[in-house]
Amino acid sequence: MAAAPVWSVDPRTGKQREQVADEATPQEVDAAVRAAHDARASLADRAVRAAFLRSAADQLEVAKDALVETADAETALGPVRLGGELARTCYQLRAFAAIVDEGAFLDVVINHPDDTATPPIPDLRRYKVPLGVVAVYSASNFPFAFSVAGGDTASALAAGNPVVVKAHPDHPALSELVAKVIRRAAAAHGIPDGVLGLVHGFEAGVELIKHPLVAAAGFTGSIRGGRALFDAAAARPTPIPFHGELGSLNPVVVTEAAATERAEAIGTGLAGSMTLGVGQFCVKPGLVLVPSGAAGDGLVKSLTDAVSDTDAGVLLDHRMRDNFIAGVAERARLADVESPVTPGAGGEHTVSPGFLTVPAARLAAEGEHDLLLEECFGPVTVVVRYEDDAEVTSVLSRLPGNLTATVQLSEAEAAGEGRGADLLAEVTPLAGRVLVNGWPTGVAVAAAQHHGGPYPATTSTSTSVGGTAIERWMRPVVYQTTPAALLPVELRDENELGLPRRFNGVLER
């Protein structure tokens, strides 16, 4: 049976643009994984890896115009947004190159023998090594930063692992172009093309997670798809780590004092955050607790005005558009749910932003209103009107894990008065990033960043953004009583590589 063709599709019209490739057969997936496995040795030298990552960033910048044009044709995200995302992607690659150069990610620890310890300590030398071939599943909503050359790929390569990417069907032509650019950068450093494999098709993604030479996987997408792959990774004869980002409501709590103090600003800020990128951000605020009464009414009015002035937009594909329209309609039919600005279909290929309101009491116990506690991808949020602090606590106690949680406090509460500290304590168990008087959209690529959270936000405790994302793709190894001549150079006393390390209990920089 012939493989199904892979088409590039214009989301603005729903029409096919060009045939890009064919869906990969099991044999082609196997060939891609084996080529990646064979490329492992080419990444062994840290200096070569760092130079490769920098060259990849340089080459992406050279190809910027063609890449952005192709990305816009497949995603309708616009040249400005896509240009910024490509810049972020290049920054990530260079940031990981700097991490590779520094070497602290190897986590070198050396203990000389100590017979006076209880029990005695033998000669022990520990560092981290790459896992092997990493499977990366691209995201729809970030065609650069969470795709072929995105954070999962960059961090895996930085750790010394070759990668096989399962391309997202929403931007297959872009995926092919980016893969060519990265391979061109690899060739400049004597690294074979197999270091970055690319496959298309749903079945190819299933075959990839099952392949015995795949050592770990990274995923960004839906709860349903991510959970299926997570289960497959765990069900293998040799289970592998699966670092998945699956879904998040990103709750926001607005205190009564904050709403009284700056209702208009909070409403406007919320509108901007929930409609940014047509609501297609994984950190979109999807559930907002707002007080009942005059203060909350003012916030809702501000939100209404701002969202009403926001144009309809194009989602990444028509399947997402259909799901969005059906999802908001199903939610709007629930008892006591109102639509101050009705979200749904815009034009033939667009959607209009909006928001729903519901009394907090409707979410106090299990029932049909639990649908409001599930992420709805697109430009919509749910405003939950609460009567008192007890209702806030009740709703928060029913939320699953999230990438972010935000509290909007008054000036006095932010200074330590009132309920601010208690609210932070309530939301911290729910999320990996906690914000005060800000909005969660926008995830800085920084050393201190954490982009993850309790399940189902992610399937592990690690981050997919920032320098520590590299830790996902490594494992520690200890050498005991090993002669110096047989030790990896990173673990020898002389430290000729100048690595940061802990040497007999002392941190050396």
Render pLDDT for 71-106 as a digit per residue (tens, 0 to 9).
999 999 999 999 999 999 999 999 999 999 999 999
User: Residues 6 or more apart from 317 whose CB is under 8 A from it?
Assistant: 9, 11, 140, 169, 170
Q: What is the mean pLDDT of residues 113-133?
A: 97
- Give, in degrees to the nearest 5, the angle at Cα 118 between 117 and 122: 60
Report residue 110: phi and psi, to 5°.
-125, 130
Round to whole Å and give the CA distance between 141 and 155: 19
Location of structure tokens 């070497």: 103
Mean pLDDT for all residues in the chain: 97
Instruction: Report pLDDT for 1.
Output: 53
Q: Which two tokens stand for residue 90?
A: 């290049």
Round to whole Å and give the CA distance between 384 and 459: 28
Q: Does domain 251-436 bear CATH number 3.40.309.10?
A: yes
Position 203 pLDDT exceeds 90? yes
Position 444 pLDDT exceeds 80? yes
Render pLDDT for 271-289 as a digit per residue (tens, 0 to 9).
999 999 999 999 999 999 9
Round to whole Å and give the CA distance between 197 and 35: 8
The one-letter amino acid at 54 = R
The reported pTM is: 0.96
Position 121 pLDDT exceeds 90? yes
SS3 379: coil
Q: Which two tokens stand for residue 56?
A: 């990849």
- Residue 478: CB atoms within 10 A of its CB come to 12
pLDDT band at 3 (very low <50, low <70, confident <90, very high): confident
CB-based contacts of 110-116 (< 8 A; 24+ apart in sequence): 110/491, 110/493, 110/501, 110/502, 110/503, 110/504, 111/504, 111/505, 112/504
pLDDT band at 137 (very low <50, low <70, confident <90, very high): very high
Q: What is the mean pLDDT of residues 159-178?
A: 98
Domain ranges of the chain: 23-246+461-473, 251-436
Could you give the residue numbers annotated as active site?
245, 282
**% of the chain residues with pLDDT over 70:** 100
Q: What is the mean pLDDT of residues 349-376?
A: 95
- Residue 27: CB atoms within 10 A of its CB come to 9
Render pLDDT for 376-428 as a digit per residue (tens, 0 to 9).
999 999 999 999 999 999 999 999 999 999 999 999 999 999 989 999 999 99
pLDDT band at 22 (very low <50, low <70, confident <90, very high): very high
Beta-strand relationship, 431-436 and 402-408 = parallel
Q: What is the mean pLDDT of residues 456-474?
A: 96
The torsion of the CA quartet 9, 15, 21, 24, rounded to 10 degrees, works out to 80
Q: Which fold has domain 23-246+461-473?
A: Aldehyde Dehydrogenase; Chain A, domain 1 (3.40.605)
Report residue 212: phi and psi, to 5°.
-65, -20
Position 154 pLDDT exceeds 80? yes
pLDDT band at 48 (very low <50, low <70, confident <90, very high): very high
User: Residues 6 or more apart from 63 whose CB is under 8 A from it?
Assistant: 177, 181
108-147 burial, b if ≥16 CB within 10 A, otherwise e?
A: bbbbeeeeeeeeeeebbbbbbebbbbbbbbbbbbbbbbbb
Position 365 pLDDT exceeds 80? yes
Instruction: Report pLDDT for 364.
Output: 86
Render pLDDT for 317-351 as a digit per residue (tens, 0 to 9).
999 999 999 999 999 999 999 999 999 999 899 99
**% of the chain residues with pLDDT over 90:** 98
